[in-house]
Amino acid sequence: MQDAIVGRGARVTRFGFGGAPIGNLFSAVSDEQAVEAVGAAWAAGVRLFDTAPHYGLGLSERRLGAALRHRPREQYTLSTKVGRLLVPSSSGGRDDQGFDVPADRHRVWDFSRDGVRRSIEESLVRLGHDSVDMVLIHDPDDHWEQAVGEAYPALAELRDQGVVKAIGVGMNQWRMLAAFVQATDVDAVLLAGRYTLLDRSGAAQLLPLCLDRGVAVLAAGVFNSGLLATHDAAGTYDYGPAPRPAVELARRYAAICERYGVTLPQAALHFPLRHPAVTSVLVGARSAEEVRRNAALAAAPVPVELWEALDAEAPVA
């Protein structure tokens, strides 16, 4: 598995582990399943592990930290995010943002300098680690001024001090990521769901800009939250019900893949790596079985002719 160096020494593998599912995204998994999923990723050669406070109100960070704690620290890159602080709550009930966890805390947006430092300190406690390697500003869609004016300088200072090795931004849109790349000296962007078989909107401007500026692109959400995860093209799209046009296009892609002996998820997993700006593909998984399936898909070659056929079917951007 080919490695790359991001920022000032963060080594990332071609495929990374996305920690949202082990934070009980959509439905619960056990602590044992989470540990087994991380272990399977390690066995497959994955050494980039990404999480966030947002994922399960801290559950993903706690589980990922526990699963990695006995691994040699110098052998993996640990990434988390800032922008949402977790504050105790007595409202009861369950989390209303897609994670099957008790609502014993709630998220508070905070991209201030103090908020960034507090977020990292609290993440380290949940992770049970004394350091993280990469920190990403998480979903600053409605907070551009504070994110670029306070969060970014705070992270840049930590990078200059050697506290972290790489900094960046993670979002579900490409336009603000492009603005960050133009306005700052970020090392990486995490682009979720916007450079996939079904949504190539990040390709026209963001990816060439990142390539020109030497910014690593971590492609996430390559299954568009589920629709491309199975060959029958069924499931959610961008964390909601899949619209008919997306389902129809995915099924046309699946039929084309069959002609070349490739499955739809196999093509979806390999697709982002066609672009030279993409350094790593982050894939979320909730079980060891899912990890092993994805590892097998990643190891299976895809004929060049398939891409030509899929590109011919793709809608004009």
Cite the active site residues. Answer: 55
**Angle of helix 304-313 versus helix 244-259 axis, rounded to 10:** 150
3: which strand partners? 13
Nearest to 246 by CA among 263, 266, 224: 224
Structure tokens given for 103:
């609502």
Q: With DSSP H G I counted as helix, E B as strand and the rest as coil, what are the percentages for the chain, rounded to 5?
A: 40, 20, 40
Residues 6+ apart with CB under 8 A from 150: 111, 112, 113, 116
What DSSP string runs through 257-289?
HHHTT--HHHHHHHGGGGSTTEEEEEEE-SSHH
Nearest to 276 by CA among 190, 186, 207: 207
Nearest to 123 by CA among 32, 40, 23, 203: 23
